Amino acid sequence: MATVRLSDVQFDEDVYLSYLQEDRTDRNAYIASGVAVTSNELQARANGEGGLTSIPFWKDLDASSENNSSDDPTQKATPDKIGTGKMAARKIFVNNGWQAANLVSSLIGNEDPMRQIASRTSAYWEQRFAARVQAITLGLFNQNDAGSGDMIFDASTEDGANATADNKWSFDGFVDARATMGESADNLALLAVHPDTLTQMIKQEKIEFVTDSQTGVRIPFYNDYRVVEDKKLPVIAGTTSGFRYVSVLYRQGVIGYGEGSPRRPVAIEFDESAGNGAGIETLWERKEWLMHPEGYKFTDASVADLSPTIAEFETAANWSREFERENVGIAFFVHN
């Protein structure tokens, strides 16, 4: 248990200076860029019963054959049929609490640690949401890497310190990764890269910055793909030396999500006897999320508790692809 105490607060007893909030450097761009979108179906299921939910889907018609027409009455055509399948998603039940001693507010004047904590919880949950998107992405990569590898183009070398231009980020490699989507490649629109990779791209003068007219934020683009800079993308140590980076191409909306309604999403807890009677205040927040990549089944093969952890979302055995490759809007480019 962590409690904000007087020793954690820096202030001048005579002239109190306003506190400065240190914003976190990692930002959630997945919702803003459209990778993760609210799904009406998942929203409804997020408020339903149980922790694991099945999502049925229609399979496409088989377009591999046809019948040649005939005037022979004895020739009978056999009709085809349409099939169904099921995706499966696991609900996420998470919470966190933040605590402060009442005496802190009394001694430092107008500043209130709990008010400051409450002003930052929204940003905190955005980052936890992004961490789940990142874990799902890594889980799909690990599952495909251990299997067919048909979603991955790998140009890297295990001797990263001696990588050539062919092993590093390149337009050719980008096109080859895109090509793993086949004729559905046009659906890809977003590109997530590690900051080290973005540095390579800027040095190659391949990044175009577009200023958002409403926010003034400069958004990077690469060949009309919006670029998301993400320091949590996989960085794999080379067997011999150096590192291998995993960059990800996404279709907009490939990850759907819904948000459930915990019985008490926000609660304030008071312990009046703590602090030898001065009192302790705790803010609790609870979230119920249902997040799922289109085309996959969460197998639940390796989950210890009620909700999958970040590490369990990253586990290859917990994922099974149910859609044909071209219908899954994610592609991976591995490079040095």
Rounded-to-integer distance, Cα 121 and Cα 180, Å: 39
What pLDDT sits at residue 50?
A: 61
Question: For 180, phi and psi rounded to 5 degrees?
Answer: -65, -15
Q: Which tokens in the block code for residue 332?
A: 């991976």
Tens digit of pLDDT for each residue in 22-59? Answer: 555 555 667 777 788 887 777 777 777 666 666 665 66
Burial class (CB in 10 A: 0-12, 13-18, 19+), 19: middle
The model's confidence at residue 268, banded by pLDDT at 50, 70 and 90, is confident
- Secondary structure string (H, E, C) spanning 110-173: CCCHHHHHHHHHHHHHHHHHHHHHHHHHHHHHHHHHHCCCCCEEECCCCEHHHCCCCCCCCHHH
Any idea what DSSP says for residue 148?
T
For residues 316, 319, 324, 325, the Cα torsion angle rounded to the nearest 10 degrees is -30
Tens digit of pLDDT for each residue in 107-130? Answer: 766 667 888 888 888 889 988 998
User: Residues in the chain, how many?
Assistant: 336
Tens digit of pLDDT for each residue in 136-184? Answer: 999 999 999 999 999 999 999 999 999 999 999 999 999 999 999 998 8
Rounded-to-integer distance, Cα 329 and Cα 254, Å: 6
Q: Residue 14 pLDDT more than 50? A: no
Q: 228 pairs with which residues across the strands?
A: 192
Cα–chain-centroid distance for residue 112?
Answer: 33
Distances (CA, A) of 115 to 119, 120, 273: 6, 9, 22
What pLDDT sits at residue 5?
A: 61
What pLDDT sits at residue 1?
A: 67
Beta carbons within 10 angstroms of residue 62's beta carbon: 10
For residues 221, 226, 227, 230, the Cα torsion angle rounded to the nearest 10 degrees is 160
Of 105 and 115, the structure prediction assigns the larger pLDDT to: 115
Of 51 and 226, the structure prediction assigns the larger pLDDT to: 226
The answer to whether the CB of 191 falls within 8 A of the CB of 249 is yes
Any idea what DSSP says for residue 169?
S
Question: For 103, phi and psi rounded to 5 degrees?
Answer: -65, -30
Average pLDDT over residues 304-311: 88
Question: For 262, phi and psi rounded to 5 degrees?
Answer: -60, 155
